[in-house]
A and B are shown apart, each in its own frame.
Chain A
Amino acid sequence: GQQLNQSPQSMFIQEGEDVSMNCTSSSIFNTWLWYKQEPGEGPVLLIALYKAGELTSNGRLTAQFGITRKDSFLNISASIPSDVGIYFCAGQLTGTASKLTFGTGTRLQVTL
């Protein structure tokens, strides 16, 4: 099946630093999404990307849909303590009912 690998697996950064994480796939996706999961909660959508090459921002978050459709990155600028959580990329193939395939996750810890 499709595999989405994220790197790094975990990051420990200081408040105010910028963060970059990426996601690579063994196959093509039509839509890429980035979710954040906090302890005891379900994933929450951060950014959705629909076109190869697309660069989208949401506040301090910026994500890009790779030209090959097999990768994506997420950047967080000027990190704050509430950025702590696990960040998952997810790919979707086609159609409104199509399942999401989630990546392996990047755990982010922010220290003061």
Chain B
Amino acid sequence: EPEVTQTPSHQVTQMGQEVILRCVPISNHLYFYWYRQILGQKVEFLVSFYNNEISEKSEIFDDQFSVERPDGSNFTLKIRSTKLEDSAMYFCASKSFLIDTGELFFGEGSRLTVL
């Protein structure tokens, strides 16, 4: 069964360091998303991406965040200068353009710990 894969599964970094989280969406999907979940809280939307550009972003997705689809398969989330409050699980998700069912397929997440 096709799935969304994310790496790394866990990253520990020092405050102020740059972090890149990587995702390989399901191969025939065209819409890509990043969500985050602070420990014990709900899942929050960060950004959606389609046709090589951002479709929508939340107020959380400030200038410290950027996304990229560098090579047609990977979809990355970069945090330029991490803050303590960036510690969370980051979930990548993808969706097929052909099926407007609202179904997003989520990866297993990358846990980011900022010290």
Q: Are the chains A and B members of one assembly?
A: yes
**A31-B102, A96-B97, A97-B56 given; A42·B42 CB < 8 A:** no
- Indicate if the CB atoms of A33 and B102 lie closer than 8 Å: yes
- Which of A88, A96, A100, A102 interacts with B100 by CB under 8 Å? A96
CA distance A28 to B42 in the complex (A): 19
- Complex interface residues of chain B between 85 and 102 (CB less than 8 A to chain A): 91, 93, 95, 97, 100-102
Task: Classify chain B's interface size.
Answer: 20 to 34
Nearest Cβ in chain B — how far from A58, in angstroms? Answer: 13
- Which of B48, B101, B103, B108 interacts with A40 by CB under 8 Å? B108
- Indicate if the CB atoms of B42 and A105 lie closer than 8 Å: yes
Residue of A nearest to B101 (CB): A48
Q: Is A75 an interface residue (CB 8 A)?
A: no
- Indicate if the CB atoms of A99 and B101 lie closer than 8 Å: no
Q: Name the prevailing secondary structure of the B interface residues.
A: strand
- Complex interface residues of chain A between 15 and 49 (CB less than 8 A to chain B): 31, 33, 37, 40-45, 48
Nearest Cβ in chain B — how far from A61, in angstroms? Answer: 15
CA distance A54 to B50 in the complex (A): 30
Nearest Cβ in chain B — how far from A91, in angstroms? Answer: 9
CA distance A98 to B102 in the complex (A): 8
Q: Which residues of B are at the interface with A, using a C-beta cutoff of 8 A?
A: 4, 31, 33, 35, 42-45, 48, 50, 55-56, 58, 91, 93, 95, 97, 100-109
Q: Which residues of A are at the interface with B, using a C-beta cutoff of 8 A?
A: 31, 33, 37, 40-45, 48, 50, 88, 90, 92, 95-105
**19 CB < 8 A contacts A-B:** A33-B102, A37-B43, A42-B91, A42-B108, A48-B102, A48-B103, A50-B101, A88-B42, A90-B43, A96-B31, A96-B95, A97-B50, A97-B56, A97-B95, A98-B102, A99-B33, A99-B58, A100-B43, A102-B45
